[in-house]
Amino acid sequence: MTIAVYPGSFDPIHYGHIDIAKRAAKIFDTLIWAAYDRPLKNLMFTTDERLELMRQAAQDMPNIRVMPYHGLTVEFARSLGATVMVRGIRVTYDFEIEYQTALTNRQLADDIDTVCLMTSLKYAFLSSSTLKEVAFLGGPIGEMVPPFVQAAVRKRMAQLGEDRDDKVKLVSLRE
């Protein structure tokens, strides 16, 4: 029985993440879809909020378990008996990052391998940063996320108010 971990920030999840999670869940016996609880990033959602959205997205996939984690991803994977880490690749830039991360993780844990799934073409340019920026600027995100994520993003933006740019830093599409 092969257990795989799909780790990330997922702030918030979008259709690209969901696509990778569902495809990975067809390949492996159990998929642990894991949200890193303290990434070095300015987050829009708390860990519990990110997990709740992931749970809703995975509810029709019984072999997906949604969990938080902190610390080294390989240690978390090992603690669950996982032997595979799943990552998604969109553009060549992702490959560089994932390649470096996979080699580092193998150095740390040579009993765990990284498996990268290529994005589906329609999600190739979709990222959490992109969807947050479009939403911040008042654009439509219905093609990027399921309705329950869209509702959570809108609610969060209303809570943040007008000066939200200072509260959640974005990697701007304009930069």
Using the contact rule CB under 6 A, the part of the chain among 53-61, 87-95, 105-113, 159-167 near ligand ADP is: 87-95
**Cα dihedral 157/161/163/168 (nearest 10):** -30
Q: Shortest CA distance to 90 belongs to which of 141, 130, 133?
A: 130
Element (H, E) at 136: helix 128-136
Min separation Cβ 154 and ligand ADP, Å: 20
Query: Residue 77 CB, nearest distance to ligand ADP (Å)?
Result: 14
**8 is an interface residue for ligand ADP by CB under 6 A:** yes
The nearest distance, CB 156 to ligand ADP, in angstroms, is 16
- Residue 90 a catalytic site member: yes
* Rounded least distance, CB 60 to ligand ADP, Å: 19
Contact 43, 10 (CB under 8 A): no
Please compute Rg for the chain using Cα positions: 16
Two tokens, residue 130: 């992109």
CB 76 within 8 A of CB 5: yes
* 22-51: contacts with ligand ADP (CB under 6 A): 39
Q: CA 6 to CA 12: how far, in whole Å?
A: 15
Toward ligand ADP, which CB reaches closer, 64 or 163? 64
Give bridge partners of residue 18 from the DSSP assignment: none
70 is catalytic: no
Q: Which of 17, 50, 87, 132 is catalytic?
A: 17
Binding test (CB under 6 A) with ligand ADP, winner from 4, 5, 17, 51: 17
What residue spans of 12-127 are helical by DSSP H?
15-27, 47-57, 73-79, 92-108
Task: Tell whether residue 127 is a contact of ligand ADP (CB under 6 A).
Answer: yes
Tell me which of 85, 128, 131, 135 binds ligand ADP, using CB under 6 A: 128
Q: Which residues bind ligand ADP (CB under 6 A)?
A: 8-10, 16-17, 20, 39, 87-88, 90, 94, 119, 123, 126-128
Catalytic positions, written as ranges: 17, 41, 90, 128
